[in-house]
């Protein structure tokens, strides 16, 4: 399978630093004076979604720290590819930021054969900003109070139960695929369009029995008693559901996965600007107000130790999901 992990060694060995060695005097001066004009943050999804929400609450705080306005520019289409392409083609001067996520940056290159963007070649990762767990939920009719009982129930009825996802090329699908294969469960996959909402609605309606969904999309149904929460996909338990065990502590650490959002800039952006943006993200995502508002959506405000740390995270995370895609033979539907 064609992936961008083949370039990881070269990137980690110094490709990130390559553009900086060729700075001209003008570039260095521009970095020293940065920012001196309005900054554009491209969000590759429509207004109202999780990425747009993050951009709208983070941009004002970032603007205050940088001393320049940040304008949110929604460029939806192509599962995030339209906005990602626009950001990748922008001048590498720090005045175009890209609010990427796991779907666009890690997963899309596996499913879109005509994708022009090579994320780790065309971007420099700055910092992660949020981490959102997925929640394994079941319709109340499923006679299982926990994961152990669920596995036993499914094994007694192979291919009788189904799981919903927002689509084949989503993290929701990959986490469930990894989990069910590790647990030896045979389930039918039912993909939906239009995000996690329609998938969750059909699980609530009992048309499909199971799903791994972002906590923001399924938590209200759990709290309302319409779905049962069985496990959470992250390494640590969620404050929103402290009694729900993680998939790792249940014996499936290889199925741990998180949906992330983070800041990236076009390749060639001066390192001084990258580091300045990183510092700003760290301050913003540690702000109590931001942390509280992100938590309301079931996510966790976060930041990377450094730009290189974020790069390393993306490379390793993509390797894991590339293996799931290859082993299961998953294709876009």
pLDDT over 50 (residue 10): no
Calculate mean pLDDT across residues 258-274: 97
Percent of the chain with pLDDT over 90: 77
User: What residues have CB less than 8 Å from 213, skipping those under 6 apart?
Assistant: 134, 135, 137, 172, 196, 199, 200, 203
297-314 pLDDT per residue, tens: 889 999 999 999 999 999
Return the pLDDT at 27.
54
pLDDT over 70 (residue 184): yes
Calculate mean pLDDT across residues 38-61: 95
Write down the pTM of the prediction.
Answer: 0.86
Return the pLDDT at 332.
72
DSSP for 176-213 reads HHHHHHHHT---EEEE-SSSHHHHHHHHHTTSS-EEEE
Pick the range with the lowest mean pLDDT from 58-62, 204-208, 234-238, 305-309. Answer: 234-238
């Amino acid at each position: 399978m064609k992936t961008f992990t083949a370039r990881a060694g070269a990137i980690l060995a110094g490709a990130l630093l390559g553009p900086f060695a060729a700075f001209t005097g003008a570039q260095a001066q521009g970095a020293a004076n940065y920012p001196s004009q309005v900054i554009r943050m491209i969000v590759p999804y429509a207004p109202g979604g999780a990425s747009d929400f993050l951009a709208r609450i983070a941009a004002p705080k970032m603007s205050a720290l940088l001393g320049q306005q940040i304008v949110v520019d929604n460029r939806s289409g192509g599962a995030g590819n339209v906005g990602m392409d626009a950001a990748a083609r922008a001048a590498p001067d720090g005045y175009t930021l890209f609010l990427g996520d796991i779907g666009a940056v890690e997963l899309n290159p596996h499913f879109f054969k005509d994708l022009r963007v090579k994320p780790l070649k065309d971007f420099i990762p700055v910092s992660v900003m949020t981490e959102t767990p997925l929640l394994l939920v079941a319709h109340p009719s499923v006679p299982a109070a926990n994961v152990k009982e669920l596995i036993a129930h499914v094994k007694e009825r192979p291919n009788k139960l189904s799981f919903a996802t927002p689509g084949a090329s989503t993290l929701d699908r990959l986490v469930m695929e990894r989990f069910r294969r590790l647990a030896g469960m045979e389930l039918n996959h039912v993909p939906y369009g239009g995000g996690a909402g329609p998938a969750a609605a059909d699980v609530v309606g009992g048309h499909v029995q199971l799903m791994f969904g972002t906590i923001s999309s399924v938590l209200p149904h759990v709290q309302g008693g319409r779905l049962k929460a069985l496990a959470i996909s992250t390494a640590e338990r969620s404050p929103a559901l402290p009694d729900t065990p993680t998939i790792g502590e249940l014996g499936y650490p290889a199925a741990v996965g998180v949906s992330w959002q983070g800041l990236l800039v076009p390749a060639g952006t001066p390192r001084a600007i990258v580091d300045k943006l990183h510092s700003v993200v760290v301050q913003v995502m540690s702000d109590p107000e931001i942390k509280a508002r992100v938590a309301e959506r079931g996510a966790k405000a976060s930041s990377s130790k450094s730009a290189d740390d974020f790069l390393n995270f993306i490379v390793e995370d993509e390797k894991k999901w590339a293996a799931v895609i290859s082993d299961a033979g998953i294709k876009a539907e």
